[in-house]
Amino acid sequence: MKLDGNARKIIFEDAHTHSHWLEEKVDDAVLREAFDLAKIGPTSANCSPMRITFVKSPEAKEKLKQCLQEGNIEKTMKAPATAIIAMDMEFYEKLPKLFPQADARSWFAGNQKSIEETAFRNSSLQGAYFIVAARAMGLDCGPMSGFDRNKCDELFFKGTPVKSNFLCNLGHGDKSKLYPRNPRLAFDEACKVL
């Protein structure tokens, strides 16, 4: 079934990356619903390595501030919520539950290269699903990678197998401060049909 034009406009055509935010809180129930939509998206062997820490409180925001590059501080501090999209480097321990039709855990245990590639690729995919899901829930998003991952991991994930991937500010964006959409590549510039 094809989405109607309005749904496509909300999720893709009218959606922009936001840097300026209205003073409207983001309800935890909306974050939960966005995650519940995003988790349905496919990952290899249903490995589902994405973990999200939602930073909302002033104390957590101050902690995150220490990790941000200068150009990302103001927009992140003013965002009602920031999702630390992270990856569980021991995702394979959950594969007996998530992929019971095969011994998928054995494909990864002890294979660090495969663990790292799979965790990064699939948490990135899931992070993109989360952005689409958040937009479907009426939120605006400001994904970014301008932060110190090592410091973020130390402050938020110390003593765990979780590592940060990217950040995504969430809230209701100030549309009056958007820049015009930057150009995108045309189909023939980016794609081939063989």
136-172 residue pLDDT tens: 999 999 999 999 999 999 999 999 999 999 999 999 9
Residue 55: per-residue pLDDT: 98
Q: Cβ of 173: how many Cβ atoms within 10 Å?
A: 23
- Gap between the Cα atoms of 105 and 127, Å rounded: 23
The amino acid at residue 136 is: A
Plot region of 171 (φ>0 → left; ψ -120 to 50 → alpha; else → beta): left
pLDDT at 1 over 90: no
Residue 5: per-residue pLDDT: 87
Residue 33 host element (H or E): helix 28-38
Determine the average pLDDT of the residues in 1-27. Answer: 93
Residue 3: per-residue pLDDT: 86
pLDDT at 27 over 90: yes
- Gap between the Cα atoms of 188 and 16, Å rounded: 23
pTM confidence score: 0.96
Are the beta carbons of 40 and 126 closer than 8 angstroms?
no
